[in-house]
Amino acid sequence: MTGTGQKRAGPAPEDLARGLAAMAVGATGVFTKTVVETDVYLFGGITGDLYRNHVDEEYMRRGPYGGRIAHGALMVGYMSAASSKLTEHCPVPIVSYGYDRIRFIKGVRLGDTVTVEYRITEHMPDEAKTLAEVTCTNQRGEVVAAATHIMKFV
């Protein structure tokens, strides 16, 4: 029953087995995007984060980045896009359970092309979850962000 506050049971064992098979350890999803000014302004407008690091070129030109940088949370959005590419053919429903150890290692400049690799590293069948390592690199092969992602079969 939905809407009554009752906790819904997890997936049936056969569904969990099919889901884990579809999301095998080592399975990888990739998403690539060149970050442009429109991305930064639309993201800033949606979230309300129009901090000067993202919108004030003159201010940021004086710092170590040499200009504006994209939002770290935008990189998390790109991580989500990579996980979606991997899970789009999963035969059972799977949802994001959260990100751990997110790190924004280098600034992402407007014009940088970011490639996200999302790789399943572990199954946790007792909890109906998978773990994945997620790495964002720029066009120079530099890691700009990284995280661990947890997915849950529902």
Segment 80-119, tens digit of pLDDT: 999 999 999 999 999 999 999 999 999 999 999 999 999 9
Residue pair 129/22 in contact (Cβ under 8 Å)? The answer is no
Q: pLDDT 10s digit of each residue in the chain, 154 long? A: 455 555 667 899 999 999 999 999 999 999 999 999 999 999 999 999 999 999 999 999 999 999 999 999 999 999 999 999 999 999 999 999 999 999 999 999 999 999 999 999 999 999 999 999 999 999 999 999 999 999 999 9
Please answer whether residues 100 and 84 qualify as being in contact, where contact means their C-beta atoms are separated by less than 8 angstroms.
no
Question: Quick one: pLDDT at residue 7?
Answer: 61
pTM of the model: 0.91
| pLDDT score at 10 | 84
Q: Does domain 13-35+69-153 have CATH number 3.10.129.10?
A: yes
> Helix, strand, coil shares of the chain as percentages rounded to 5?
30, 35, 35
In sequence order, which ranges of the chain are alpha helices (DSSP H)? 13-22, 37-47, 52-55, 57-61, 72-87
For residue 8, what pLDDT is reported? 61
Q: Are strands 94-104 and 129-137 parallel, antiparallel or unpaired?
A: unpaired
